[in-house]
Amino acid sequence: MVVALRPVADGDLDALFEHMRDPEGIRMAAFTPENPDDRNAFDAHMARVRSSPGITMRAVICDGHLAGSIASFPADGQTEVTYWIDRAAWGKGIATQALALLLEVVATRPLYARAASDNAGSLRVLQKCGFQVVGTEKSYATGRREVIEETILRLDA
């Protein structure tokens, strides 16, 4: 299995939109757009993200096929990472490899990440890449329509 990152292309947007509409993916990610079926909002968000100089966004490619997306972005004076892997590719180590590749591109440290505290898979990916749990907080998760616990992680080196 070969995982690589490349800039997100216009031709990726339809597949990424579909990935981000998957009900199980939405439940696991928890912190999602208000309406994941709103293509206009998705396109506007992607246009902003792809053109922002402070954001590094990449397509995750596995064996030549689009498997998801990964990014770093500024948030409240810190830099955070986020990723979304197509459910068909879960459990194969793709997110871990993609994050390791992103960490080679994004030199900012400390680097932060957040995940729903019950999202064991995502927490495992982050910890395999060296992120350490630094706290939790209760936040409203749009994807679940309720307040849930979110784990905050930091990578220092």
Buried b / exposed e over 13-47, threshold 16 CB at 10 Å, is bebbbebbbbeebbebbbbbeeebeeeeebeeebe
Residue 122 CA neighbour count, 13 Å, CB half: 25
Using one digit for the tens of pLDDT, what is the confidence trace for 32-79? 999 999 999 999 999 999 999 999 999 999 999 999 999 999 999 999
What superfamily would CATH give domain 3-155? Gcn5-related N-acetyltransferase (GNAT) (3.40.630.30)
What does pTM read for this prediction? Answer: 0.95
Q: What is the pLDDT of residues 71-122, one digit of tens each?
A: 999 999 999 999 999 999 999 999 999 999 999 999 999 999 999 999 999 9
pLDDT value of position 157:
83
Domain boundaries, the chain: 3-155
Section 145-153 average pLDDT = 97
User: What is the pLDDT at residue 7?
Assistant: 97
Mean pLDDT of 3-24: 96
Query: Which stretches of 96-131 are assigned E, i.e. beta strand?
Result: 111-116
Distance of CA 155 to the CA centre of its chain: 16
